[in-house]
Amino acid sequence: MLKRYTNEQLDELVLALEERTSTVSTDIVNTVRATLDAIRLGGDRSLRNMTKHFDGIDIECFVMTREEKERQLAKVSPELYAAMERAAANIKAFHEKQKTQSWVTAENGIVMGQRVLPLRRVGMYVPGGTAAYPSTVLMDAIPAKVAGVKELVICTPPKAEGVSPAAVAAAEIAGVDEILTIGGAQAIAALAYGTESIERVDKIVGPGNIYVATAKRLVYGSVDIDMIAGPSEVLVIADSGANPAYVAADLMSQAEHDPLAASVLITTDASFADAVETELNRQIAGLSRRDIIEKSLAANGACVIVPTIEEAVALSDRIAPEHLELAVRDPFAVLGLVHNAGSVFLGDNTPEPLGDYYAGPNHVLPTNGTARFASSLGTDSFVKRSSYLYYNDAALDAASDDVIRFAEAEGFTAHANSIKVRKEGTSL
C-alpha cells in the first residue's frame, strides 16, 4: 500500500508531495471574483439571493437566534459536550502560555516600547455537512479569545435541519459571540467587506472548499487570513523498536481525510516496514472510510528505508510535514534534531489524533512544506504589535547628526530637514 522509495528517488518523493495541491482553475477564480464583487456592491440583497441559489434557503436574518442555538445544543449528548469542555480547557491552558506581552524601556531621555493589541473582530468559517468539525471551532476560537479578541463571529452554511449541533456546542464552549448562517465564497465576502447587517472583520480563519479557499486568497489585503491550507499529511520516523500496529493505524488516521492526504513512513528497518504493510492490510478492513484510505495510500503513501535516524530526520526536514511522529526509542533526543514540522508527536502513546482533538497544541498547522517558514495558529495570530517612541531634547541632539547622515546618503533632504529644523532652529 505504501510506495517504496530508494535513496536515489528522494527528489521524486519530495516533488510528488509538493504537487498534491493542484492549481486553481481560471474558471473558479473568475467565479469567486464575481461573487466577491456582487456582495461588495449588493450587500444583504446579493447575500440573500446567493443563499437562495446555492443553499436553497430563503433567509431574512443571517444571525442565529438564541432559541435556535438552544434547539441545536439540546441534540448534543452530555458525554460529547463534557469531552469538548475538557478539550477546551486543555487548549486554553496551552495557548495561555503563548501570550506575547507589551513592554517599555526608559533611559537617557528615551522612552520606547511595544504594545500588543488584540484584533477587534475576527470571522471564522465553519464548513457545513460532515466537515463541520467541532474540534476546529475550538482550535480557531479559543486562541482568539485568549489573545483578547473582543468579537468572534462564525459563518456556516444554512441547512434545513439547522447548523451542526456539535459545531454550535463547540462555539458555545469557546465563547463565540455570534453565528451567521451564510456559507461559501459569499460568506467570505460578507466578512471581508461587510454588508448592511454584517460588520466587516479584521481577520478570517477556518477551512473550506476550493471556493472558500480561493475567496480567502482574493480578499487577503482587505483583511488578514490564517493560511491557505493544503491536504493533510503525517510523516512517521520509526526505528526497529516501534510498534507496527500503532504506526499503521496512525498512517491511516491521516489518509482517511481525503485522497490527497499524504502518509509517509521513514524507517531504519526494512522488516519493520514490511510489518507495517501487513498491519495496514489487516486494519483497513474494519474502517468506515476504507475507500478514501485506499485511494490516499495508493496515490500519496510512501515508505523510505534509511541507514540512520539522522538521515530520516534530514529527509523529514526536506518534506517539512504538517504532523511528525517520532516512533523511536528516545524521541526527546531526536526532537532536538528536527527543524521543520508543524507539530511533533513523541513516542508510542502520543498518536496524532491526540493533537487533532484534545491535548492542547493547535491543530491548525502549516501544510505542503510550508512548515519550513510558517507556524501553527496561535495567540500571535490574533494580535498586532504597535511600537511607540519618545525622545527628549538631549536625546534628540545626540542622535541628530547620525540621522541627518542617513537621510542625506539616501537623498531624502526633507527627512534631514526635519531633524535640522529642531537641531538648528532653522529650515532649508
Which of these is catalytic: 95, 233, 279, 323?
323
Q: How far is CA 318 from the centre of its chain?
A: 21
Distance of CA 60 to the CA centre of its chain: 32
Euclidean distance between CA atoms 330 and 402, whole angstroms: 54
From 75, 229, 71, select the one nearest 140 (Cα to Cα): 229
CA distances from 356 to 114, 241, 253 (A): 34, 25, 11
- 323 catalytic? Reply is yes
Distance CA 118, CA 146 (A): 9
Q: Is-catalytic flag, 322?
A: yes
What does 357-390 look like in DSSP terms, one character per residue? HTSSS------TTGGGT-----GGGGEEEEEEEE
192 and 180 in contact (C-beta within 8 Å)?
no
Q: Compute the distance between CA of residue 139 and CA of residue 119 in angstroms, rounded to an integer.
A: 17
Query: What DSSP string runs through 218-253?
Result: HHBTTBEE-------EEEEEE-TTS-HHHHHHHHHH
Distance of CA 294 to CAs 258, 270, 310, 371, 391, Å? 10, 22, 30, 26, 66
Max CA separation in the chain (angstroms): 86
**Residue 18 half-sphere exposure, CB side, CA atoms within 13 Å?**
13
State which H helix or E strand residue 344 sits in.
Answer: strand 343-346
Q: Where are the beta strands (DSSP E) in 76-197?
A: 103-107, 110-118, 121-125, 151-155, 178-180
Within 234-339, where are the H helices? 244-255, 270-283, 290-300, 309-319, 331-335
Please tell me whether residue 109 adopts helix, strand or coil conformation. coil
Distance between CA 77 and CA 96 in Å, rounded?
Answer: 28
Task: Using CA atoms of 397, 399, 405, 411 in order, give the dihedral in degrees to the nearest 10.
Answer: -90
**Rounded Cα–Cα distance for residues 3 and 300 (Å):** 8
Per the residue annotation, which of 172, 233, 277, 322 is the catalytic one? Answer: 322
Q: Which residue has the cell 441559489?
A: 53
Q: Name the residues annotated as catalytic.
A: 322-323
